[in-house]
Structure 1
């Protein structure tokens, strides 16, 4: 009997290492596809839950939060850009014109929309998650904008009008907060965090080889 794995991918839309981790995990899942099946669920985590809707300039935010210099922040972003390139994802460089990629935004409404998408289906949720990563990190659009969120939902085949209704309401706010609180109570305070079968945790944007080895070991152990 082919082993089946449940994978919860805990992450934030504004987390670049989450993009890298997801791309690497997808590569690993392709490599093990003949030996096991897996269902992927995206769980919410906010890196900056107190961030106002208008956001904050990215270098200012990073230097304040992590106590590093602007030069170090730029070097970190370049490292992330290169890692993204290695897994087939394009991180645009932050511009100075106030574009989305030059700012960090509040992502709570994006997580509400992702929760709704998950109720529509796992594939729909995955498509929306990946499209939101691209909208923010590649195209520099704001994941706090209801207009952007609804449009992206429509582009991946979800009902854009229903997405707007969700965003205009408080729908799924309690559910998102409950899931966030649950994973924090499990000791997850940084992302990405990949939880397999509710028991095994893999932290960080690991290479595909690390994910593949872990998936095979867990599947073999039953």
Structure 2
């Protein structure tokens, strides 16, 4: 008797590349996917969300941004120390001190969108590049040069990506998709939506994400 084939499972991850918990959430989803091997065949799509769409296109000085957001570096350090601890548990060595610019992430989301048009695998590679460049190396992921390099490292055509970034291609569509996330009730990221049925908000542990997959499969069964 043949073993049951893994059930297809879509996962929409609503996130922002300047969100450290989204980087942690990516690692935890990867661990959940390992737990799901043989039971579920995951297809992951990364969806845009802007934590702060008011940041100008060229970005904002990091110290100024932290002052506005947290009331100063002391409060920011208190928050980031918890994030650093959580990141260490997932093998992420956050380097917040290296970040000089808080970016506007619209163009980064455009690149993620284009990568997704090619394949979920390429999209995941671009997302990984952007998280690593920003949080591990302090690179400005709003800068077109950085985005072109990240896209090229992930297997995209850098020349093509540069041309697209210099145009307004998919800018309105990406903004609209980010706005839709708020319209459907997303108030924090990462937000994982399994099978377009079950939503889990926050960088929950892999076990919780895996159980959400099982709940989704159960709810999808005909009565």
TM over 0.5: yes
1:29 aligns with 2:15: no
* Higher RCO structure, 1 or 2 (CA under 8 Å, sep 6+): 1
Instruction: Answer yes or no: is the 8 Å Cα contact 1:48–1:106 preserved in 2.
Output: yes
1:155 aligns with 2:153: yes
Q: How does 1:81-160 map to 2 (within 5 A)?
A: 81-95=84-98, 101-160=99-158
1:45 aligns with 2:43: no
Counterparts of 2:95 and 2:73, CA distance in 1: 18
Count the aligned residue pairs. Answer: 216
C-alpha distance after superposition, 1:150-187 (max 9, x if no partner): 01111111111111111111111122122112211101
Gaps of 5+ in 2: none
C-alpha distance after superposition, 1:81-108 (max 9, x if no partner): 121111112211314xxxxx13311011
Counterparts of 2:63 and 2:207, CA distance in 1: 32
Instruction: Determine which of 74, 79, 84 is the counterpart of 1:71.
Output: 74
TM-score for both structures, normalised by structure 1: 0.91
Which stretch shifts more, 178-187 or 36-45? Answer: 178-187
Q: CA deviation at 1:202?
A: 0.4
Counterparts of 2:137 and 2:104, CA distance in 1: 17
Q: How does 1:141-220 map to 2 (within 5 A)?
A: 141-220=139-218
Counterparts of 2:30 and 2:66, CA distance in 1: 28
1:60 aligns with 2:64: yes
Q: CA deviation at 1:137?
A: 0.5
Query: Cα RMSD over matched residues?
Result: 1.5
Counterparts of 2:167 and 2:120, CA distance in 1: 23
Gaps of 5+ in 1: 96-100
Counterparts of 2:178 and 2:36, CA distance in 1: 30
Residue aligned with 2:96, SS: coil
Instruction: Answer yes or no: is the 8 Å Cα contact 1:12–1:45 preserved in 2.
Output: yes
Counterparts of 2:63 and 2:197, CA distance in 1: 36
Q: CA deviation at 1:211?
A: 1.1
Residues 144/69 of structure 1: CA separation in 2 closer, same or farther (3 Å cut) = closer
